[in-house]
Structure 1
Amino acid sequence: MFLSSSALRSSSALRRAAVLAVAVPVAGTFLSALSAPAAFAAGQATAVLDPAEQRIADNLDTRSQDVRLGSTLGGVVLDAGSRKPVWGHGATTALMPASNTKLGTATAALTVLGPAHRFTTKVVRGDGTLTLVGGGDRTLTTADLTELAKAAVTGLKKAGLTSVRVRVDDSLFPEPTLATGWNDGYYPDSVAPVRALVVDGHQVTDTSLDAGQVFAAALAQQGVTVTGEVAHGVAAPGDVPVASHRSAALSAVVKHMLKVSDNDYAETLLRMTALSAGRPATFEDGTAVVREVLGQYGISLANYEIHDGSGLSRANRIPAQTIADILDLAADPGHAETLKYIVDGLPVAGEAGSTLGPEWGRFDTADSQCAVGKVKAKTGTLTGAIALSGLTKAQDGQWKVFSFIENDSTAAPADIKDALDGLAATVNGCWA
């Protein structure tokens, strides 16, 4: 049985120089006391390893040469309690990280917005029109819109109105654009154009109009006539609020995003984080905030380049060392109140419904099956880039943080993933 993040945190000593000084972040103010992870350096490779760690290092030296992994592999293993380097190979090389990018997005969102933050969708009325106002809630459902419609109809009846126009206001975000490193072939299956209003996670080109149409249908079910077509618009300052819905807490949103590697959640969170930091809701400003947050935590930004929140960008570059440092930060007891949800959200090897589930063919080989339930890790998959980064409790009883990023292997993706799963099982020690 995989231990909870609370067990993980209690098993590692507080080892950072300073901790977050405020429990709930305030927009535009990140950290007032900063911790500084030590960068992996060649000189640190002489650290004294216990027998279990030496086996990890020796086995990884051999298994990292697996032909399935090609010639471009970045990897690092750290002891989570002491930050002692156990093994490294190309650890600071800038590589395409795929969805491991989401770990930085989650760190920034939790820090700037706070784990308890909720996103609000509103309905306002004015001039014979109900306006559905998007607030960046990717969890909004048809049931939620039905409740908003019921509340709105109550107000309409009190005002003696039986018909209304419907418009959608998604002006919280600018008009969708492609990120650097994206192509329009991503739309709408890999990611939908990023808008502030969406229902049921629908993968459509205009999620705002789609949500407005669902809302209009709910109004009609309540006996109100909707005139004309649902259209885009901006709520007027004098419009009267008639209903609102608040999302689940950000902590739950982050856990879902990581568990299933949801690209739409990631890109929406990137924009909401930028807004809360006082910046426009763009790719450029969102990624700037991610960099600022990571830098203030003491994470090295050397060779770190990102252009989106999801990791779909083929122009992103992050070293395995940086990914490991982010995970080490999330597991640090000093930051548990804010960042523990990252560790909580990591898929568990063999966990159905996650990106490490059996339905994805993960941890199902003779080498890696022994690690089922013992490894928590974020996956990453793009053409030419596959990553696996997480935590596991090794044979010496100590938690290890690892990150493996492969680029440009010519092997089949399923074979590359099997090889990476084997590396994680090696860190755990069950594949001795």
Structure 2
Amino acid sequence: MSTSVRRTLVLAATAPIAGTILAGPSAFAADKAVSKSTAVELDPAEQKIADDLNTRIQDPRLGSDLSGVVLDAKSEKAIWGHDATTALMPASNTKLATATAALTVLGPDHRFTTKVVYGDGTLTLVGGGDRTLTTDDLDALAETAVAGLKNAGLTSVKVRVDDSLFPEPALATGWNTGYYPDSVAPVRPLVVDGHAVTDTSLDAGQVFAGLLANRGVTVTGDVIRGVAGAGDVPVAEHRSEKLSAIVKHMLKVSDNNIAETLLRMTALGADRAATFEDGTAVVRDVLSRTYGVSLDNFQMDDGSGLSRSTRIPAQTLAEILDLTTDPRYGQTLKYIADGLPVAGEVGSTLGPEWGRFDTPDSQCAVGKVKAKTGTLTGAIALSGLTRAQDGRWKVFSFIENGSTANPNDIKDALDGLAATVNGCWS
């Protein structure tokens, strides 16, 4: 069975019955949809996973609102599901959709460019959507700019920033006021060192002005916002790392700001406006039209998953991750799988510093599970890949909403579900 056919199967039961699982057609990929429920036989290893999950999702730490699914990447079978098409708040699992669209539209080798141009006595720092720009990068731009100024006999200059690449609004629907600027900054195409400030553009301009001054150039007046003139002369530019590396970093540490910037740059890459609305529209288009991913009950309002109005079913997240196992898409989407945090990996969101995979039930899965985490008040998610005891890769997604248990306890319970899929906790 091809991957596209398997994606027409939407789980219609909360538990396998007599070794089978019921499935029905997806609204997407209607050309290959099955017309009636289809029984899929589970082998003993798969049935063991299903049976154990049916028992373990009764854990009171998980509450009553859980959407979950497990797919076998080789046999094309849906092994288990529980309310798999129920849309819940997925938190940072949303980044999987954002990354898929960015890599598809822009390409893994895409780089973001920050420029400096000169005109009428003013150096303009032009933002190009590089959320990884550093002070060292700005200093290199300043060095080149100062050399040009001195060659022209200039010793003073005004500085402005051009962040017109991204229009307002800079804040997404569903963001609590407490989220910014710490969890996410208002979205602008210019920032340095990931500073958590309200106006990252002016902040970057001020850092740039200070670097110019350190190199002997007098900066007159305050740093202001403006648009580079059509006749301004290019002075210097910096190109970011490849998008593939940026995506991997974003997923490893769950960087909200990178995700929001990528959403807008993806919109631009698709010839749309760099807004939340157009960015999420492009994501939906890529998932459904390019890859045939089911978007039933799908609502996405930002790129990071901080929006409390976003709703995505576990089925959709599993289908997105399953794309990374398809050889047809490997050259484009393999960086998502590469960027998933690994259980026990220091420096990632599944590292011991976050208390993940450190219980007697889940410790056995350290190094064996790689998954994207998601955490908001009232929402915990874990979606990823693991090579199970039968030697085949399993794709899983678990989303929990509304449990009153301690968030760390909920995460422990989800880690146990992932260990169950792996089979090391049997």
Q: Contact (CA 8 Å) 1:172, 1:196: kept in 2 or not?
A: yes
Distance (Å, rounded) in 2 between the aligned partners of 1:46 and 1:52: 17
Match of 1:336 in 2: 330
* CA 154–36 in structure 1, closer or farther in 2 if over 3 Å, else same: farther
Task: Report deviation, 1:186.
Answer: 1.2
TM value normalised by structure 1? 0.91
TM value normalised by structure 2? 0.93
Q: Does 1:405 align with 2:399?
A: yes
Among candidates 290, 311, 315, match of residue 317 of structure 1: 311
Distance (Å, rounded) in 1 between the aligned partners of 2:340 and 2:170: 29
Task: Report deviation, 1:52.
Answer: 1.5
Distance (Å, rounded) in 2 between the aligned partners of 1:179 and 1:91: 27
Q: Contact (CA 8 Å) 1:178, 1:184: kept in 2 or not?
A: no
Distance (Å, rounded) in 1 between the aligned partners of 2:274 and 2:193: 22
Q: Secondary structure at the match of 1:254?
A: helix
Among candidates 83, 88, 94, match of residue 90 of structure 1: 83
- CA deviation profile, 1:202-253 (whole Å, cap 9, x unmatched): 1100101111111111111111111111111110000000000000000001
Match of 1:374 in 2: 368
Match of 1:129 in 2: 122
The 5 Å alignment of 1:244-255 reads: 244-255=237-248
The 5 Å alignment of 1:67-146 reads: 67-146=60-139
Distance (Å, rounded) in 1 between the aligned partners of 2:76 and 2:318: 10
Task: Report deviation, 1:75.
Answer: 0.4
Task: Report deviation, 1:70.
Answer: 0.3
Q: Contact (CA 8 Å) 1:36, 1:299: kept in 2 or not?
A: no
- AA matched with 2:390: D
- CA deviation profile, 1:66-116 (whole Å, cap 9, x unmatched): 000000101000001122011100000011100010000000000000000
Q: Does 1:301 align with 2:295?
A: yes
Q: Contact (CA 8 Å) 1:72, 1:409: kept in 2 or not?
A: yes
Distance (Å, rounded) in 2 between the aligned partners of 1:100 and 1:357: 17
Match of 2:388 in 1: 394
Gaps of 5+ in 1: 1-13, 18-34
Q: Contact (CA 8 Å) 1:330, 1:336: kept in 2 or not?
A: yes
Task: Report deviation, 1:36.
Answer: 7.3
Aligned residues: 402
Among candidates 1, 7, 13, match of residue 37 of structure 1: 7
Q: Secondary structure at the match of 1:55?
A: helix
Distance (Å, rounded) in 1 between the aligned partners of 2:11 and 2:397: 16
- CA deviation profile, 1:348-396 (whole Å, cap 9, x unmatched): 0000100000000000000000000000000000011000000000011
- AA matched with 1:189: D
Distance (Å, rounded) in 2 between the aligned partners of 1:118 and 1:15: 34
Distance (Å, rounded) in 1 between the aligned partners of 2:362 and 2:157: 59
Task: Report deviation, 1:50.
Answer: 1.9
Match of 2:145 in 1: 152
Q: Contact (CA 8 Å) 2:171, 2:187: kept in 1 or not?
A: no
Q: Secondary structure at the match of 2:370?
A: strand
Distance (Å, rounded) in 2 between the aligned partners of 1:146 and 1:178: 29
Q: Does 1:353 align with 2:353?
A: no
Q: Does 1:185 align with 2:172?
A: no
Match of 2:195 in 1: 202
Task: Report deviation, 1:39.
Answer: 2.9
Distance (Å, rounded) in 2 between the aligned partners of 1:101 and 1:132: 31
Match of 2:377 in 1: 383
Q: Which of 414-423 and 212-221 deviates more?
A: 212-221
Distance (Å, rounded) in 2 between the aligned partners of 1:82 and 1:286: 34
Match of 1:233 in 2: 226
Q: Does 1:419 align with 2:408?
A: no
Q: Secondary structure at the match of 1:40?
A: strand
- AA matched with 1:151: T
- CA deviation profile, 1:13-38 (whole Å, cap 9, x unmatched): x9335xxxxxxxxxxxxxxxxx8722
Q: Contact (CA 8 Å) 2:3, 2:76: kept in 1 or not?
A: no
Q: Contact (CA 8 Å) 2:88, 2:312: kept in 1 or not?
A: yes
Q: Secondary structure at the match of 2:10?
A: coil
The 5 Å alignment of 1:25-64 reads: 37-42=7-12, 43-44=22-23, 46-64=39-57
**Aligned alpha-carbon RMSD (Å):** 1.2
Distance (Å, rounded) in 2 between the aligned partners of 1:164 and 1:349: 51
Match of 1:16 in 2: 3
Distance (Å, rounded) in 1 between the aligned partners of 2:39 and 2:418: 22
Q: Contact (CA 8 Å) 1:355, 1:379: kept in 2 or not?
A: yes
Q: Contact (CA 8 Å) 1:330, 1:343: kept in 2 or not?
A: yes
Q: Contact (CA 8 Å) 1:176, 1:195: kept in 2 or not?
A: no
- CA deviation profile, 1:137-173 (whole Å, cap 9, x unmatched): 0010000000000000111011110000000000000
Q: Contact (CA 8 Å) 1:15, 1:81: kept in 2 or not?
A: no
Q: Contact (CA 8 Å) 2:297, 2:312: kept in 1 or not?
A: yes
The 5 Å alignment of 1:214-229 reads: 214-229=207-222
Q: Does 1:173 align with 2:143?
A: no
- AA matched with 1:309: G
Gaps of 5+ in 2: 13-21, 24-37
- AA matched with 1:307: D
Q: Does 1:272 align with 2:272?
A: no
Q: Percent identity?
A: 78
